[in-house]
Amino acid sequence: IRVSNVSNVLAQMKEAGISTQRMNASEMGLDTPSQATFDLGYFAIFGMARLECLLGDYHASLAVLAPIDVTSEHERYHKVFSCHTNLYYHMGFAYLMMRRYKDAIRSFSTVIAFIYRMQKSGALQHVPGGDQGQKINDRMCALLAILISMTP
């Protein structure tokens, strides 16, 4: 599979679900995408951000995330554990590679604290993919230690 094919598919999914503003479209009498189409487009944004980060285009990775309000507690990604952890991991890694160390520390510490709270309450054991979350947590802890030693 070629990277350009994957990128094109993700871009098409994003455009199909997100580009049509659901509320504006319904007010104007236009067709709105179904909930499934909207969700595919929404989560395609995270796939695109991850792909750009893995390809080494860190600015593009963060630019793809522009429609997402990462500070809001009401965003849909909070409901999907692996999406939540991968978002902050790849966002933090992109900041790290762009030498925006304080932003990277904020990204990593946010999700590390989230995983720690889940682990303490025992909820992490009941989450699908919780073992993968622990692996990402270990990676983020190591990167956070590096970041803390690099920043004054």
pLDDT tens, position by position, 60-105: 999 988 888 888 888 877 788 888 888 999 999 999 999 999 999 9
Cα separation, 109 vs 146, whole angstroms: 13
What are the residues whose beta carbons fall under 8 Å from the beta carbon of 34, sequence distance 6 or more?
Answer: none
The string of pLDDT tens digits covering residues 17-65 is: 665 455 345 445 556 667 777 777 778 888 888 888 988 999 999 998 8
C-alpha span between 79 and 9 (Å, rounded): 24
- The Cβ-side half-sphere exposure at 106, using a 13 Å CA radius, reads 7
pLDDT of residue 142: 95
Q: 99-135, pLDDT tens digit by residue? A: 999 999 999 999 999 888 888 888 777 788 767 778 8
Number of neighbours of residue 84 by Cβ within 10 angstroms: 19
Contact between 46 and 86 under an 8 Å Cβ cutoff? The reply is: yes
Q: Residue 13 — very low, low, confident or very high, per pLDDT cuts 50/70/90?
A: low
Contact partners, residue 61, CB within 8 Å, separation at least 6: 49, 50, 52, 53, 90, 91, 94
Mean per-residue pLDDT, 137-150? 93
Instruction: Quote the pLDDT of residue 89.
Output: 93
pLDDT of amino acid 108: 95
Cα-atom radius of gyration of the chain, to the nearest Å?
17
